[in-house]
Amino acid sequence: MSALPLSGIKIVDLTRVLAGPLSAQMLGDLGADVIKIERPGTGDDARAFGPPYLTDPEGKANNNNAFYLCANRNKRSVTVNVASAEGQEIIRQLARDADVFMENYKVGDLKRYGLDYESIKAINPGIIYCSVTGFGQTGPYAPRAGYDAILQAMGGLMSVTGHIDGEPGEGPMKVGPSIVDYMTGMNTSIAILSALYHRDANGGEGQHLDVCLMDTVIASCSHWLQPFLVNGKVPPRRGTWGNGGMPAGVFRATDGELMVVVGNDGQFARTCQVLGAPELATDPKFVKNNDRVRHGKEIMAIYAGLFLKKPVAYWLDELEKAGVPSGPINDFAQVFSDPHVKSRGMEVKVNHPFEPNLSLIRNAITFSGTPVKEYRAPPRLGEHTAEVLASIGYDEAKVAALKERKVI
């Protein structure tokens, strides 16, 4: 079996909270040596984002909470006071032979510490320096801090999410998970991998990458946003309605709900047959998908009445036989008990000092030749400080002195 794709790549990671750490975690899964820099004493801000926390064997309070655990496996944690001159020198020493430098500080903050792109480039011309921010390195909002929910609002995502106007509970709604952070993490990984390929395979140079949540959320609204650019009309919220094929949405059965997406005319005819209303497939108002889109409210209302006649399991079984995409609306417990999810191994176990059988979510990428097999537990705060500093020439006495001065 081949080595992992990023074996030999060294990353100095100064990112915190979610978008940057998720990207660094993805790269660590793929074999990169990710050195996570954290503040002495408190660490990554995510460690203070609330419960649940792992249970310390001695019953002590700790900072290993679920928010931190989701984005920091396969890394080494080193505590460094970046505001101190000695701490800055440690970061520069680590960056001298690094391939990638990641940070998500406010624009310009690291320049006063001598850790900005130009300063790091001066000691390592080939460095891939990636800045992850809310609004980017340029533009009037560049100095602002930005969190996922703010960007969901400002980037238009919330405006098209939520109940249809006129329905109870109408109004803009945030997507549950921090989806913009996750997508920004993916864009960050793509940017870093592309820059590494450009440098190492195409004879290119190092460069500064500017990835932000604002650009990401706008780009992610692609098939919702492009119609606006074509016709200038702001799209309405559609609730659970689909984004192309019609009818599509959540339908209530006698004992629960299911999601159905009728993607083409053939599927529509077969769904009508399953529902016991084959005549709908030849109704001039519904024959073609464009017709059904124009008469969306009417066909959705008809389907809603028909689905109310039988339980979820019946409909799912019959729709699967008919080749119509549908699925149950699972909560997380149902997701991880689903036989397909189990077969895909989406829950992995790691050995953490506080929990020998800690569950994590596996990397979503599957390789045939270089599979991700090793999942190391998210590190405790500063767990690898002495180990990493020893690799750049700091002996035990110097490490102890730095710790006494609260540099590390």
What residues are labeled active site? 181
Cα separation, 122 vs 314, whole angstroms: 66
Among residues 33, 54, 120, the alpha carbon closest in space to that of 82 is found at: 120
Cα angle value 356/336/359 (rounded, 5°)? 15
Contacts of 408 (CB under 8 A, 6+ apart): 40, 78, 79, 80, 81, 87, 90, 382, 385, 389, 399, 402
Cα separation, 268 vs 272, whole angstroms: 6
Among residues 378, 368, 373, the alpha carbon closest in space to that of 345 is found at: 373
CA distance readout (Å), 308 to 6, 74, 324, 330: 52, 48, 18, 19
Cα angle value 306/309/312 (rounded, 5°)? 100
CA distance readout (Å), 328 to 46, 252, 318: 33, 11, 13
Paired tokens of 183? 């997508």
